[in-house]
Amino acid sequence: MHLVCQRCKKARATVHITDTFPQKREWHLCEECAGEEGIIRKQEDEAFLEKTQSTTALLQEFLKHKSAGSKLDNVTCEHCGITFREFKQQGLLGCPQDYTTFREMLTALVERAHEGATQHVGKVPVRADTTTQKRLTLTRLRRELQEALKCENYELAARVRDQISELESV
């Protein structure tokens, strides 16, 4: 024996949901009526909702477990005097130079915090020196090349490749 749709009272109820407003009650609907009520739509999108299971590892957690008591803790920035241990305790760095001093440790941490990314690809400061400009333009172009190849846009890929070799020869 099967349930009959509570809405049209004809078709077989295949969608079962529990409602909570204004009071708790169960709903049993057929496919069509559920669609009318805006329910089916949500179930189709379930794939979207449950797609990503990985969660961002929290900075603090990472810091606690990954490098607890390591001898890297005593590495000190000669500009601001902060040790890596102090950074781990407060979560904030002491000066821009720390990114150079602690580069290796920070790269691992940044990778966790930024979905695996370890290389900046965004804006370059207007006043950055020409070496920086060139280096980051190349990074950006190589990324565009990969994208173009992935999308099988070979015309674009060829154009980007030309730009890269032109810039590399300067």
List residues near another protein by CB under 8 A.
19-22, 36-39, 41-42, 45, 48-56, 59, 79-82, 90-96, 99-100, 103, 106-107, 109-110, 113-128, 132, 135-136, 140
Complex with Zn ion: residue 94 or 111, whichever CB lies closer: 94
Report residue 156 as tokens. 């674009």
Distance CA 119, CA 109 (A): 13
Helix 154-169 crosses helix 130-150 at what angle (to 10 degrees)?
A: 160
Which helix (H) or strand (E) segment holds residue 29: the answer is strand 25-29
The SS3 call for residue 63 is helix
Complex with another protein: residue 36 or 166, whichever CB lies closer: 36
* CB of residue 1 to another protein, shortest distance in Å: 26
- Residue 12 touches which member of another protein, Zn ion, none, C-beta under 5-8 Å by kind: none
Which helix (H) or strand (E) segment holds residue 18: the answer is strand 15-19
Residue 11 found at the interface with Zn ion (CB under 5 A): yes
Segment interacting with Zn ion, rule: CB under 5 A, options 23-31, 36-44, 56-64, 122-130: 23-31
- Residue 70 touches which member of another protein, Zn ion, none, C-beta under 5-8 Å by kind: none
Number of Cβ within a 10 Å radius of residue 125: 9
